[in-house]
């Protein structure tokens, strides 16, 4: 039993153990260090991947209790409380629906699904079952993003006028690199789903819903080796450029690219308002940059300029782990995401980012792909809250 009287241990069933499954398992195992008295216990209970042999290896190496042949078998186990989906994108929809109809809580990696219709079905199913559902937009859980949201909500940058957001990698520059499912549109591949969903979500989270988009997709390398080493035709965008207008009237641009030579994991944005501005770069995850027009401006001796605000490990958690002054990185956002989601499962409270948030991001993605195909500006579909 956990610390809360009515709270048993939360048994997690992980579907998929590639890059993200491994990270989710690491996050769950790390929670007692980061959140000493969080009021719940979480157990890496079940694992299923696309191969039983791999699942057995994962069970032995990472301390899971049970392996399952597939997601159906895992979902039918009454011992499982949370289905945590870390599979390729095209598999999310089916697993979400089946898990929800079995009354499970569901945490799903981004993007929620591949199409808006699938995402809408998932959202409606989550509303019907009332279990705790969430999407992994991990960057929302980083201290500079939490601070940026606070500054914007306090009105410190005024009304938002414009923005630019980028998520840049350089992995597609290497033409010898084999295409995986992320480079194959049949499996929900494409950089807009992959990197684009994150930066679209951050602009949505900080500035509000999108109204319309104009999109342009780019494939710079039409062929590369496929999984079998033979020549393979690229069919998913390697870079995607969006010109957007938000419902608040702000205009701006979004770039998601794996063609950005020299970048590593470069998510960055600038948001400009009537009273100030905010800048962030994931490659400098300890700081948020804030410009305040209320600062004194003088011909000589003024103190205006972008201020670098320290965010480091300021998560309002005591005792802090690691120490407040310690620098942080990408993994910390995932730990925050996992802690917040399982905390919501333990308390039965609603979790954000929700399936409704993910549905809006999905609608922006779909409209951007439509625009890239027909060369027209596309309106974003609206959904009730």
Ligand X SMILES: NC(=O)c1ccc[n+]([C@@H]2O[C@H](COP(=O)([O-])OP(=O)(O)OC[C@H]3O[C@@H](n4cnc5c(N)ncnc54)[C@H](O)[C@@H]3O)[C@@H](O)[C@H]2O)c1
Of residues 221-250, which lie at the interface with ligand X (CB under 6 A)? none
Q: Does 53 bind ligand X (CB under 6 A)?
A: no
* Two tokens, residue 159: 């009304």
Distance CA 261, CA 238 (A): 12
Rank residues 91 and 380 by Cβ distance to ligand X and give the closer one.
91
Q: Which residue's CB is nearer to ligand X, number 151 or number 363?
A: 363
**Binding piece for ligand X, criterion CB under 6 A, among 48-56, 284-292, 313-321, 340-348:** 48-56
Decide if residue 17 touches ligand X (CB under 6 A): yes
Are 304 and 293 contacting, i.e. CB atoms less than 8 angstroms apart? yes
3-state DSSP call for residue 186?
helix
Q: Segment 79-118, which members bind ligand X (CB under 6 A)?
A: 86-89, 91, 109-110
* Whole-angstrom distance, CA of residue 119 vs CA of residue 385: 14
Alpha carbons 295 and 275: distance in angstroms, whole number:
10
Nearest approach, Cβ of 195 to ligand X (angstroms)?
A: 9
Cα–Cα dist 323/339, whole Å? 18
Q: Least distance in Å: CB of 78 to ligand X?
A: 20
Name the residue nearer to ligand X (CB basis): 212 or 337. 337
Contact with ligand X (CB under 6 A): which of 13, 21, 46, 276? 21
The rounded distance, in Å, linking the Cα atoms of 320 and 263 is 31
257 near ligand X, judged by CB under 6 A: no
d(CA 326, CA 338): 20
- Of 114, 78, 353, the closest CA to residue 96 belongs to 114
Residue 252 Cβ vs ligand X, minimum distance, rounded to whole Å = 23
DSSP string, 219-233: -S-SEEE-TTSSEEE
Q: x/- binding map, residues 57-76, to ligand X, per CB under 6 A?
A: -------------xx-----
Q: Interface with ligand X by CB under 6 A: which residues? A: 15-21, 48-50, 70-71, 86-89, 91, 109-110, 136, 138, 181, 194
């Amino acid at each position: 039993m956990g610390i809360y009287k009515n709270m048993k241990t939360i048994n997690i069933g992980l579907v998929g153990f590639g890059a993200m499954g491994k990270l989710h398992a690491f996050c769950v195992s790390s929670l007692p260090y980061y959140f000493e008295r969080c009021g719940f216990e979480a157990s890496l209970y079940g694992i299923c991947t696309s191969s039983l042999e791999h699942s057995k290896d994962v069970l032995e190496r990472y301390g899971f209790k049970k392996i399952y042949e597939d997601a159906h078998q895992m979902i039918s186990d009454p011992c499982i409380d949370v289905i945590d989906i870390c599979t390729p994108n095209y598999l999310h929809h089916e697993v979400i629906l089946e898990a929800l109809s079995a009354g499970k809580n569901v945490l799903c990696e981004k993007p929620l699904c591949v199409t808006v219709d699938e995402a809408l079905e998932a959202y409606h199913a989550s509303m019907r079952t009332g279990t705790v559902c969430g999407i992994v937009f991990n960057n929302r859980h980083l201290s500079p993003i939490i601070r940026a949201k606070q500054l914007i909500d306090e009105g410190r940058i005024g009304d938002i006028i414009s923005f630019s957001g980028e998520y840049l990698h350089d992995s597609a520059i290497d033409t010898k690199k084999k295409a995986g499912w992320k480079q194959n549109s049949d499996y929900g591949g494409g950089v807009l789903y992959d990197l684009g969903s994150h930066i679209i979500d951050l602009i949505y989270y900080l500035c509000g819903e999108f109204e319309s988009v104009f999109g342009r997709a780019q494939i710079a390398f039409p062929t590369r080796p496929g999984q079998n080493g033979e020549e393979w035709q690229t069919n998913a965008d390697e870079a995607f450029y969006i010109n957007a207008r938000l419902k608040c009237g702000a205009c701006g641009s979004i770039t998601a690219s794996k063609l950005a030579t020299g970048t590593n994991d470069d998510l960055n944005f600038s948001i400009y308002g009537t009273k100030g501005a905010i800048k962030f770069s994931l490659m400098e995850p300890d700081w948020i940059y804030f410009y305040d027009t209320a600062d004194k401006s003088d011909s000589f001796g003024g103190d205006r300029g972008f201020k670098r605000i320290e965010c480091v490990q300021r998560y309002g958690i005591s005792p802090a782990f690691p120490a407040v002054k310690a620098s942080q990185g990408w993994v910390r956002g995932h730990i925050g995401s996992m802690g917040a989601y399982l905390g919501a499962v333990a308390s039965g409270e609603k979790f954000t980012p929700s399936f409704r948030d993910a549905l809006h991001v999905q609608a922006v993605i779909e409209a951007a792909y439509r625009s890239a195909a027909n060369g027209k500006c596309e309106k974003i579909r609206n959904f009730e809250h």
